[in-house]
Chain A
Amino acid sequence: MRVGDAVIGVLVVILGLAVSWSAWSLPNLPNQSYGAATFPVAIGICLMGLGAVMAITGVTRGNGFTLAAEGWGRSPGSWLRLALVVVLIVIFVMVADKLGFLIAGTGLMFALLVTFRTNVFVALLVSPVATYVVAWAFGNLLRVPLPRGLLSSLW
């Protein structure tokens, strides 16, 4: 999905304004004119300037306030798969501690494989094996404390 340069320019100006406004009141270092606000305010001002230039050039070049669904953007299926990837990771983040990595990871892997249009039987076979290999490599070999959850007594 392509957003017109002018729209992006306006959004960048708004972002710069928000950053400068919220950083303005941050305190300085004791007895100094500089501190926590200096750098973000400078960034905000630069963003406002860049956004303004982009909006103006967008309008003058005719690439202004447009919103175009091109290529994959015209396919509802693509949007659905994209949303699914985000939703699946959010669900994983929410349940991984309780269920443990082996269970939540297998679920995530299976759902991702299906989202990527892998055959369901292949997904059923690959997801537990891949999750176990990842859990073994990171949990045992690299000593990353992955959440154990419900299966804490087993590994």
Chain B
Amino acid sequence: MGDLSTAFLLVFDPYVLLVIAASAAFGLFVGSIPGLTATMATALLVPVTFFMDPVPAIAAIVTATAMAIFSGDIPGCLLRIPGTPASAAYADEAFAMTRKGQAERALGTSLVFSAMGGLFGTTVLVLAAPALAEFALSFSSFEYFWLVCLGLSCAVFISPASPMKGLISLFIGLLIATIGIDNPAGQPRFTFGDYELLTGVPFIPAMIGLFAVSEVMRAVVSRAPPLKPGSEALTGVLRGQGANIRRYWKQGLRGSILGTAIGALPGAGADIAAWISYAVSKRFSRTPEKFGTGHEEGLAEAGASNNGALSGAWIPALVFGIPGDSITAVVIGVLYVKGMNPGPTIFIHKPELIHAVFIVFFLANLILLPFGWMAIKLSKQALRVPQQILMPLILMFCVVGAFAITNSMYGVVVALCLGVLGFFMEENGFPVAPAILGLVLGPMLEQNFITSLIKADGSMLAFFERPIAGGLGVVTIALWIVPIVMLLIGRRRRAAQTV
């Protein structure tokens, strides 16, 4: 109890509370700007936290990331430009609601279920961290291979385009991910002698290009009336959310559980959690036909999932020092700098600091509601700027955001090239989201695929020999076969009826 009271004193210090408030505003700002990610918010905070004590430093990162993941939903909802990759899974859905005049409802759902997912993830982090981390650690390359396949399959199935076009988009993403020297044999691949391509195609500038630059290009050629958030104020963001929680509590809970579990698996973060949860939501929905037309069920589940994943990612990071995602990869560095060497011993040597981190997690997810509400209110004012001024501004942010990731014009070139690619893909009905997921998960898929092949000496049966790997493999294959079988059965029935 002594450690807990010390932890409370550490957190409820006026300076720490001020840091939490400032980093909340910072996280909301960064997350709501298309192209700037929660990872980027963390990376940008590191030099600032260098001058802080451990508790305010960790508090700043935890708060900023929780806010950034939520606020990424705001431009996704109002302009169909996801602020962070974790919002990309349901940006189309949220935007469809905005088109129906339900922006408040979409953002309110996203806010409430984000807080729910975050609080659930934190509770799991506090109660079950060691056990869950141990479970994740028992995964070998076979399980990871199937897990990535499952994530990629979901990306293809949830896209509204034809599976064929979704698959081609996915393979284009996987192909782009092979560029560079970071491959099993350490050989330059598809670099054409360019030294910057040796480092590969950076993911964030690529996302900026595919999602944001291509959107600006669509705006510049569009002859339709400019797309603007409605002129009316965003009132009643939280109105009706009580009923929403009662209606979608199962989805919220399922998203929170799935998000936390996926977050706890090293390498799989909030992005993949949101994709899988959205697909799961559609698959188990009583009204799957409403998905893609502006339906909040998927928003609730995926919104809860990506915030749950944030907390989940801290489980292996704190207990074993293994990053759950790119954010916790940065955080582990901060923990070392602050003398909080992550690992099982931290629970013995610095229990008050661990308790303080847990309290900060709860606090960050609780203040998400008022701060998120304020961000929604302010965002509409910001997004009401005329489109002919807003779009050049967004492009400017994209250019600078892409530059900031690589500290060179290489990032801008990548964003531009993929912007052009994304523009022509969407013009011809190819969804860009599977390409993004292919780009993100490509290296992980290749690494686990090659490792597993070597371990199994080329035998594909070995991919099913371990129980969890076998289960994941069967689920993935079923995901592909079941729709085809259903399609064939449907065709046969229709043919029988016409005869």
Contact = CB atoms under 8 A, between A and B. Distances in A.
Q: Is B a genuine binding partner of A?
A: yes
A150 interface: no
A53 interface: yes
Contacts of B397: 134
A128 interface: no
A91 B423 CA distance: 20
B413 interface: yes
Contacts of B174: 43
A51 B171 CA distance: 11
A78 B446 CA distance: 41
A78 B399 contact: no
A96 B183 contact: no
Interface in A66-103: 71-72, 75, 78-79, 81-82, 84-86, 89-90, 92-93, 96-97, 101
B412 interface: yes
B185 A27 contact: yes
A142 interface: yes
B225 interface: no
A34 B175 CA distance: 18
A59 to B, nearest CB: 14
A108 B183 CA distance: 37
Contacts, number: 161
Interface residues of A, number: 66
A86 B216 CA distance: 11
B85 to A, nearest CB: 19
- Counting contact residues on chain B (CB < 8 A from A), the size range is 35 or more
B396 A38 contact: no
For B44, B171, B174, which residue has the most chain A Cβ atoms within 10 angstroms? B171
A120 interface: no
Contact of B220 (A39, A116, A138): A116
Nearest to A2: B428
Contacts of B484: none
A112 B396 CA distance: 9
B454 A22 contact: no
A36 to B, nearest CB: 4
26 contacts: A3-B428, A8-B428, A15-B175, A23-B190, A29-B450, A34-B454, A35-B187, A36-B186, A39-B446, A40-B190, A43-B171, A43-B175, A46-B167, A72-B221, A72-B222, A78-B223, A81-B220, A81-B221, A89-B399, A109-B393, A112-B396, A115-B220, A116-B392, A130-B392, A144-B403, A146-B403
Given A43-B171, A82-B220, 7 more contacts: A29-B184, A39-B178, A50-B171, A51-B168, A93-B413, A112-B391, A130-B392
By Cβ-Cβ distance, the 5 closest A-B pairs, closest first, are: A112-B392, A36-B185, A78-B221, A116-B388, A35-B185
